[in-house]
């Protein structure tokens, strides 16, 4: 009398904001007992954090989605912006290993005591989840594709074809319009998952000049163990801020004459990831507005809005009314400084409207992840400022009809300003 099998067993590195469903089957004799239910218990280490009780479906199986129990235990990790940063950072807030224990409860048959009794922990499974949320329908990886056995191994780095946690179009190198554009002063980071097959122990940066001549090769050394989510610096200023002890060459990794570069993860001298390319540019006419945002795969992407930006403020006022005179002496004395309406509440909500340069159709369509993102930061004076997108809609572009694309975005700062009472 026990759970006979778990017929739906989610794979490791499950996106925590998608369904995480277990299906179990008990034997027919046990299912026939009075008040029978399947038990699905979720543990964080040795601590039980939730239990779902599920009656047997008409098919006899028990089905439970434990996602809602897990999601509150995960948050985010932002890349380090201190003066001297490490090679890798473990994103400890962004992933977690849970244990799922499957059992059952029922009223045992005579001669046993006729009380509801639990028989927990009959089957145990470990599961790693991370702070991702895959769409149900989109041109990039979707939740339905992810559910296919081993599909998401594409995103656990241990071979040259494995992917970083980003859906940004990956150009080969300039002048490919899908190459990421960065400035020498930009901070930015790239995220990844480590699967089985050995630790990630280094990454390499290959920098080229405008003649496509290799000018620097930097080996950045540290270790990220298996079954982790980690982040590395990838934009010029962040790479050039790496601690000297982990870099094989003298700083800067990205010199001022660098035109483009790429980064690749390694394990034991073998490539462990795809190459991710960057085009070093400089926008002289307008102030560049750089955004960092949580993507659907759980990492943070960055994008530069290089055309004119305009700040504005939405102002909310509240008033009270009073008599416009001074009657302290018993005589009505009107004055031009007296007010009928007095402003006692003033709140201003700072906003900023951004414009991209002309961008490729692929980049424009990828930026739906920015428009949807619940976590957005704007870089200003080397610091992150929390903002939120207040643009409501997005429309896909097509390569066969839309030759030139431009994105205009309106953001609201995450904090309001207030003024004195009148």
Instruction: Report the pLDDT value the prediction gives residue 83, as an integer from 0 to 100.
Output: 72
- By percentage, how much of the chain surpasses pLDDT 70? 97
Q: Where are the beta strands (DSSP E) in 171-213?
A: 180-182, 189-194, 200-208
The per-residue pLDDT for range 298-316, each reduced to its tens digit, is 999 999 999 999 999 989 9
Nearest partner of 23 among 38, 8, 42, 2, judged by Cα: 8
Tokens (6 digits) for 305: 């809005």
Rounded-to-integer distance, Cα 202 and Cα 221, Å: 4
DSSP assigned state of 42:
E
Q: Label residue 341 by pLDDT band (50, 70, 90).
A: confident
pLDDT at residue 340 greater than cutoff 90: no
pLDDT at residue 41 greater than cutoff 70: yes
**Domains assigned to the chain:** 3-130 (2.60.40.10), 143-283 (2.60.40), 302-418 (no CATH)
Compute and round to an integer the Cα radius of gyration of the chain: 28
Q: How many CB atoms lie within 10 A of CB 234?
A: 26
pLDDT at residue 149 greater than cutoff 60: no
Instruction: Report the pLDDT value the prediction gives residue 345, as an integer from 0 to 100.
Output: 92
Q: Which residue has the higher pLDDT, 395 or 141?
A: 395
pLDDT at residue 217 greater than cutoff 70: yes
Tokens (6 digits) for 105: 């409860």
Tokens (6 digits) for 293: 């945002």
Q: Where are the beta strands (DSSP E) in 285-421?
A: 289-294, 300-305, 310-321, 325-326, 333-334, 341-355, 376-380, 383-389, 408-413, 417-418
pLDDT at residue 155 greater than cutoff 70: yes
Q: What is the pTM of this model?
A: 0.90
Rounded-to-integer distance, Cα 276 and Cα 205, Å: 10
| Antiparallel, parallel or unpaired: β 341-355 and 333-334 | unpaired
Mean pLDDT of the chain: 90
**Average pLDDT in the 380-399 region?**
86
Instruction: Report the pLDDT value the prediction gives residue 391, as an integer from 0 to 100.
Output: 78
Instruction: Report the pLDDT value the prediction gives residue 253, as an integer from 0 to 100.
Output: 97
Rounded-to-integer distance, Cα 182 and Cα 263, Å: 14
pLDDT at residue 65 greater than cutoff 70: yes
The per-residue pLDDT for range 87-114, each reduced to its tens digit, is 899 999 999 999 999 999 999 988 888 8
Instruction: Report the pLDDT value the prediction gives residue 82, as an integer from 0 to 100.
Output: 80
pLDDT at residue 333 greater than cutoff 80: no
Q: Which residue has the higher pLDDT, 333 or 297?
A: 297
Rounded-to-integer distance, Cα 277 and Cα 164, Å: 12
Tokens (6 digits) for 81: 């912006």
Q: Label residue 339 by pLDDT band (50, 70, 90).
A: confident
Nearest partner of 291 among 387, 363, 359, judged by Cα: 387
Q: Label residue 150 by pLDDT band (50, 70, 90).
A: low
Helices in 210-316 by DSSP H: which ranges? 236-239
Q: How far is the CA of 90 from the CAs of 69, 261, 276, in angstroms?
A: 23, 24, 20
The per-residue pLDDT for range 353-388, each reduced to its tens digit, is 999 989 999 999 999 999 999 999 999 888 899 999
């Amino acid at each position: 009398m026990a759970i006979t099998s778990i017929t739906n067993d989610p794979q490791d590195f499950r996106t925590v904001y998608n369904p995480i469903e277990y299906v179990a089957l008990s034997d027919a004799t046990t299912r026939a007992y009075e008040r029978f239910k399947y038990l699905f218990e979720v543990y964080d280490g040795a601590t039980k954090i939730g239990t779902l009780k599920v009656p047997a479906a008409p098919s006899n199986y028990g089905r439970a989605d434990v996602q809602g129990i897990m999601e509150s235990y995960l948050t985010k990790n932002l890349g380090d912006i201190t003066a001297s940063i490490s090679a890798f950072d473990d994103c400890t807030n962004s992933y977690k290993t849970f244990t799922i224990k499957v059992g059952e409860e029922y009223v045992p048959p005579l001669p046993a005591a006729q009380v509801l009794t639990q028989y927990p922990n009959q089957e145990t499974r470990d599961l790693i989840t991370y702070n991702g949320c895959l769409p149900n329908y989109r041109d990039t990886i979707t939740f339905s594709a992810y559910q296919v056995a081993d599909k998401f191994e594409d995103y656990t780095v241990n071979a040259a074809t494995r992917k970083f946690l980003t859906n940004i179009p990956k150009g080969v190198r300039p002048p490919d319009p899908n190459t990421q554009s960065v400035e020498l002063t930009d901070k930015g980071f790239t995220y990844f998952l480590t699967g089985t097959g050995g630790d990630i122990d280094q990454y390499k940066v290959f920098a080229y000049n405008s003649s496509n001549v290799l000018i620097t090769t930097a080996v950045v050394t540290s270790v990220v163990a298996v079954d982790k989510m980690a982040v590395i610096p990838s934009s010029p200023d962040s790479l050039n801020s790496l601690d000297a002890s982990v870099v094989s060459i003298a700083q800067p990794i990205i010199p001022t004459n660098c035109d483009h570069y790429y980064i690749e993860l390694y394990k034991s001298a073998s490539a462990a990831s795809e190459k991710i390319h960057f085009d070093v540019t400089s926008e002289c006419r307008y102030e560049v507005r750089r955004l960092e945002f949580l993507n659907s795969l759980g990492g943070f992407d960055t994008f530069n809005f290089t055309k004119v930006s305009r700040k504005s403020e939405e102002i909310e006022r509240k008033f009270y009314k009073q008599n416009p005179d001074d009657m302290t002496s018993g005589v009505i004395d009107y004055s031009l400084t007296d007010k009928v309406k007095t402003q006692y509440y003033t709140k201003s909500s700072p906003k900023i409207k951004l414009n991209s340069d002309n961008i490729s159709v692929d980049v424009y369509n990828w930026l739906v992840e920015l428009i949807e993102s619940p976590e957005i930061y704007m870089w200003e004076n080397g610091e992150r400022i929390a903002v939120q997108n207040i643009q409501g809609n997005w429309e896909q572009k097509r390569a066969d009809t839309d030759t030139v694309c431009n994105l205009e975005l309106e953001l609201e700062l995450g904090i309001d300003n207030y003024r004195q009472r009148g």
